[in-house]
Structure 1
Amino acid sequence: MSNATLRKNQKNQLNNTGINQQKLRAFAGELAKDIHTQDDLADLSASLVKMTIEAALGAEMEHHLGYPKYGQNGNESNASNNARNGYYSKIVKGNHGEVELAIPRDRNANFEPAIIEKGQTRLGAFDNQILSLYAKGMSTRDIVTTFKEMYDADISATLVSNVTQAVITQATEWRNRPLDEIYPIVYLDGIVIKVRQDKQIIKKTMYIALGVNLEGKKECLGLWLSKNESSKFWLGVLNDIANRGVKDILIASVDGLTGFPEAINAVFPQADVQLCIVHMVRNSLKYVGYKEHKNVASDLKQIYQSITEEEALLALDEFEYKWDTQFPSIAKSWRRNWDNVATLFAYPEAIRKAIYTTNAIESLNSMIRKSIKNRKIFNHDNSAFKVVFLAIEAASKKWTMPIRNWSQAMNQFIILHEDRLKDYV
């Protein structure tokens, strides 16, 4: 039986025993009588952590030796004649500050506890707390100060850097992981950040690909950082996705990023490209005055809410006739991008709702922006990757359900793209 299994069995036994639960409640009631201040509570918490870990270490030693404390260590159960050999003191840091533990030793010096490994100086939750604060945009210096104020624990900036540096390994593995062979929808967008490079502060864009898999669940496919956006750059992004196993994309929903339609069709020639309508409208209204804003927005709605492409083109003609004198650039923009706007009208209502806007990726971007808003400038590319990756990890924990109306949309996809989906559904 492994140490992990041993601890799991002990926990299950505790949870399933009513008497133990009653004893725990009674014990907690007795302890509560001595709690009068926040400091009393903190001291109690640290003491409970100490007692719990030391009890678990004792159970691990018992399992290691094969006999209980004060029991007999006969030759049959302990052929090596190993035995307990006292304790050594070790200080570990945790959310309750510093805790001094008594770590048991064995005579043969081959006992390796699992709950507190050799060389470990922090509890697991402690590292998670550091990463959580880092993901929220706090700097290394801020985290050091926060732990001193909240837990009275002295940690160094080097310790925080070492904990967060491990994220780069995770992020690298994540960015190179295999992907599904087909995604019905892929949204693509970017967030501008500032990074120090060659003694200068330059603007770069962190590009994010968010896929919707066959189950209708969101999945971030990758991150790419670039100073300049171009068809060549987007070709590299799409080739990276293809090299990791993606064979087909049904619809790519984007916000008008330069060079993307050409790049995606070069790698996935059957993919339809849909420009985000919300971005189109937003860009159209950018230079419209307050008085005309409502009327222009209403007339644009007649275009993108049309039932057919013919009806939409007629609405565009009417819009152009009415507003071209005041705002000539609006109709020109819609006509220039029409090939990638009209994709919308090739699909039924259920699918239109899914590709109508890039809101799915914009909600992710919102979480990322919250994480980076306190970071005015990143010291290097890896620092940006760490923060954004942690924000995505936090967001992905909520992606447990399919997007809205997915079952209806998927039924339509199967009918429209039967030949492309037949091997997958």
Structure 2
Amino acid sequence: MTKRTEKAVREQGVGGTVQGLFSNLSGEDVQAAMLERAKMAALAFGVELLEQEVLSLCGARYGRDGEFYRYGSEKSSAIVGAARYPITRPRIRGPEGEVYPEALEKLRSVDLLDTEVSKRMLRGVSTRNYEPVIESYSEKIGISKSSVSRAFIRASQKELDAINGDTLEGHAFVAVLIDGIEIAGTMVVAALGITEDLRKIPIGLKEGDTENAEVVTDLLTQIMGRGFTLYGERLLGILDGGKALKKAVKKVFGERALIQRCWLHKLRNIRAYIPEKMHSQLLLRMRKLMGLATLPLAQMAYKELRAWLESISHEAAASLDEAGVELLTVHALGVTGELRKCLTTTNAIESLFSVVRRKCRKVKNWNSNETKQKVRWCAAAIRDHEKNGMRRLRGVKQRNILLNALLNAGLDTQSKAA
């Protein structure tokens, strides 16, 4: 809004005439003035709420019929949209001293401010550039760089607390994916749960390293303490191949955990041991292996793949052996089609990490003294994506096959895959 428009709004006030305010203004100025008046009207409504509460407690002005009475006024503020604005609030006294109206506490609540600040920060607005992107009003206050930063800290901490603290009761989980993401030199371990209806739920974040079994074990133990419940007798653990991840999953879930190794990670590992000209053929063979309809066919293709790799490089064949039957766990469950594609890679959690990287890419100055800053940013990005709608896993037609297989307590899937 131009200075001329702001001056016109202030001079006319909420009750000014439309003709006097809008004469000789451009269309842009007229619309800006409309927004300005709407904001002023919102503040006036807030003051009216305060006056109504004072009236209910103290009665008519200049009267003193009860134990509460008016006690002058003072400058205060109210939150409207994404900023703080000045108001004049009435003061009330009672038998035990000054009474603060409930309406004032609600008008000063920072919840909406924190939410709006968080939205803008996650979309790349820096603390120094926050003021120009909020709705205009000439008397806005409390939008300094430090106040915006404090608002984001409060909002992102709430999101981290929600991921790590919300109850998981009411959900039945069929799978869990665990992986790590590096943010400005700090590793954050994340856990993503898959429910019986194939929904994806972020269930845990912890600073640490996926190579550290204790960190992952602590994360899974905390998750279990929040009511994490398996749908059946077995749980599918979809991992990238880190030994610490498998150790932690087995320690927490025991024999109930069925490990499915991500074949894309294994593909990348094997590529390091064979000539580049054979990479495309390796991809074709791996795709064929993972796409075969039945376990016996996949076992035959696995042996053929291993023999081919052995003819090229013993180290490549040894890398395939390292994953072994854990590549075929979902085959042994009888799951095929789109659902198998989703359950044999860590793409579900990798796509979540891509969202985090995109939302964090404009952060230039990470505070080394703020221990939780990076994990808070990670939580805020994940929750923002979750609220906007995370897609379910594809392959709903195969869901019942998966559920029935996990209900079978006697199924020795890993041995069957061997």
Common fold: TM-score over 0.5: yes
Q: CA RMSD in A?
A: 3.9
Distance 1:342 1:164 in 2: 44
Aligned-residue offset at 1:289:
5.6
The aligned counterpart of 1:197 is: none
Give the structure-1-normalised TM-score: 0.73
Give the structure-2-normalised TM-score: 0.74
The counterpart of 1:310, out of the listed 262, 272, 296, is: 296
Over 3 Å counting, the alpha-carbon distance change for 1:259 and 1:82 in structure 2 is closer
The aligned counterpart of 1:178 is: 167
Q: Is the 8 A contact 1:64 1:111 kept in 2?
A: no
The aligned counterpart of 1:191 is: 181
Q: Is the 8 A contact 1:175 1:223 kept in 2?
A: yes
Aligned-residue offset at 1:192:
1.4
Distance 1:344 1:317 in 2: 18
Question: Tell me, which stretches of 5 or more residues in structure 2 are unaligned?
Answer: 1-16, 410-418
Q: Is the 8 A contact 1:171 1:389 kept in 2?
A: yes
Aligned-residue offset at 1:388:
0.8
Over 3 Å counting, the alpha-carbon distance change for 1:227 and 1:87 in structure 2 is same
Over 3 Å counting, the alpha-carbon distance change for 1:28 and 1:393 in structure 2 is farther
The counterpart of 1:165, out of the listed 150, 153, 156, is: 153
The counterpart of 1:387, out of the listed 370, 373, 377, is: 377
Question: Tell me, which stretches of 5 or more residues in structure 1 are unaligned?
Answer: 1-26, 195-202, 421-425
Residue 47 of structure 1 pairs with residue 37 of structure 2 = yes
Residue 417 of structure 1 pairs with residue 413 of structure 2 = no
Over 3 Å counting, the alpha-carbon distance change for 1:284 and 1:48 in structure 2 is same
Q: Partner letter of residue 377 of structure 2?
A: V
The aligned counterpart of 1:260 is: 245
Q: Is the 8 A contact 1:186 1:211 kept in 2?
A: yes
Over 3 Å counting, the alpha-carbon distance change for 1:126 and 1:29 in structure 2 is farther
Q: How many pairs align?
A: 376
The aligned counterpart of 2:11 is: none
Q: Is the 8 A contact 2:179 2:349 kept in 1?
A: yes
Aligned-residue offset at 1:94:
5.5
Q: Is the 8 A contact 2:189 2:210 kept in 1?
A: no
Secondary structure in 1 matching 2:372: helix
Distance 2:246 2:277 in 1: 35
Aligned-residue offset at 1:290:
5.6
The aligned counterpart of 1:294 is: 280
Task: Render the CA deviation track for 1:146-171: whole Å, top value 9, x for unaligned.
Answer: 32576586733432332233233552
The aligned counterpart of 1:349 is: 336
Q: Is the 8 A contact 1:130 1:143 kept in 2?
A: no
Q: Is the 8 A contact 2:209 2:215 kept in 1?
A: no
Q: Is the 8 A contact 2:238 2:259 kept in 1?
A: yes
Over 3 Å counting, the alpha-carbon distance change for 1:157 and 1:400 in structure 2 is closer
Secondary structure in 2 matching 1:191: strand
Aligned-residue offset at 1:174:
4.1
Q: How does 1:98-177 map to 2 (within 5 A)?
A: 99-104=85-90, 110=99, 112=101, 114=103, 117=106, 120=108, 125-136=112-123, 142-148=126-132, 155-166=143-154, 167-168=156-157, 171-172=160-161, 174-177=163-166
Over 3 Å counting, the alpha-carbon distance change for 1:72 and 1:381 in structure 2 is closer
Over 3 Å counting, the alpha-carbon distance change for 1:306 and 1:403 in structure 2 is closer
Distance 1:396 1:30 in 2: 48
Residue 367 of structure 1 pairs with residue 355 of structure 2 = yes
Q: Is the 8 A contact 2:210 2:244 kept in 1?
A: no
Distance 2:210 2:331 in 1: 32
* Range with bigger deviation, 47-56 or 372-381: 372-381
Q: Is the 8 A contact 1:238 1:267 kept in 2?
A: yes
Q: Partner letter of residue 358 of structure 2?
A: K
* Range with bigger deviation, 269-278 or 88-97: 88-97
Residue 207 of structure 1 pairs with residue 192 of structure 2 = no
Aligned-residue offset at 1:222:
0.5
Aligned-residue offset at 1:246:
2.3
Aligned-residue offset at 1:346:
0.9
Distance 2:22 2:235 in 1: 60
The aligned counterpart of 1:246 is: 228
Aligned-residue offset at 1:32:
7.3
Percent of matched pairs sharing the same residue: 20
* Range with bigger deviation, 254-263 or 55-64: 55-64
Residue 231 of structure 1 pairs with residue 213 of structure 2 = yes
Distance 2:280 2:294 in 1: 24
Aligned-residue offset at 1:137:
5.9
Distance 2:280 2:257 in 1: 35
Task: Render the CA deviation track for 1:254-313: whole Å, top value 9, x for unaligned.
Answer: 111222223212221211111112222233345666643332211222222223333223
